[in-house]
């Protein structure tokens, strides 16, 4: 468990180029998913499932809302120091 030193071998994501490549692949996948939405047949039970990019928008908005609510509403209400119950 020693601190990394200069001599230590380099791992996969120590190289910024690899990180950059990963992000490129990731963003390409996102773009591909957005484009595919217009070309594939959609079998839907609810009408809104046919709206363009419904799942993509919902996933993004839901998660942003989740994190903001957890950070700015829930955490201030429930956060206590670690030994709260020990006293």
Partner 1 sequence: MISSLPPGAILILGSLLVPLFRGKWKSFYLLALPALSFLNLVYWDAGQSLAVNFLGYHLVLARLDRLSLLFGYIFHLISFLGLLYALNIQNDLEHSAALVYAGSALGAVFAGDLISFFLFWEMLTVSSVFLIWSRGTIKSIYSGFRYLLVHAAGGLCLLAGIVIHVTKTGSIAFSYIGLNDLGSLLIFLGFGLNCAWPLLHPWLTDSYPEATIPGAVFLSAFTTKTAVYALARGFPGTSILIWIGAVMTCFPIFYAVIENDLRRVLSYSLINQVGFMVCGIGIGTELAINGAVSHAFNDILFKALLFMSIGAVMYRTGRVNATDLGGLYKTMPLTCIFCMVGAASISAFPLFSGFVSKSMVMEAAADGNMRLIWFMLLFASAGVFHHAGIKIPFFAFFSHDPGIRTKEAPWNMLLAMGITAGLCVFIGSVPGPLYSLLPYPVNYTPYTTSHVLGQTQLLFFSSLAFTLLILSGIYPSEIRAINLDFDWVYRKGSALFVRCVIWFFDTLRNCSGGVLSRGILPVLNQVGKDGLARAALLFMVTYWMLTGTRGKRLEMKKTKLYNDIMKGTLPIGLGAGLAALFISVLFFLTR
Sites of contact with partner 1 (CB under 8 A): 1-4, 8, 11-13, 26, 29-30, 33-34, 36-37, 40-46, 49, 53-64, 66-71, 74-75, 77-82, 84-85
In whole angstroms, the minimum distance from the beta carbon of 16 to partner 1 comes to 14
Q: Look up tokens 């609810």; give the residue.
A: 46
Rounded Cα–Cα distance for residues 35 and 25 (Å): 15
Closer CB to partner 1, 21 or 59, in the complex: 59
In whole angstroms, the minimum distance from the beta carbon of 21 to partner 1 comes to 15
CB 40 within 8 A of CB 52: no
Residues 6+ apart with CB under 8 A from 42: 49, 50
In whole angstroms, the minimum distance from the beta carbon of 74 to partner 1 comes to 5
Structure tokens given for 23:
């992000």
């Amino acid at each position: 468990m020693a601190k990394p030193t200069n001599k230590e071998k380099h791992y996969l994501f120590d190289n910024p180029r690899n990180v950059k490549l990963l992000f490129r692949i990731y963003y390409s996948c996102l773009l591909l998913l957005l484009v595919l939405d217009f070309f594939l047949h959609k079998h839907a039970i609810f009408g809104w499932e046919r709206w363009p990019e419904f799942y993509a928008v919902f996933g993004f908005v839901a998660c942003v809302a989740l994190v903001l609510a957890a950070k700015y509403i829930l955490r201030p209400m429930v956060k206590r120091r670690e030994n709260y119950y020990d006293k």
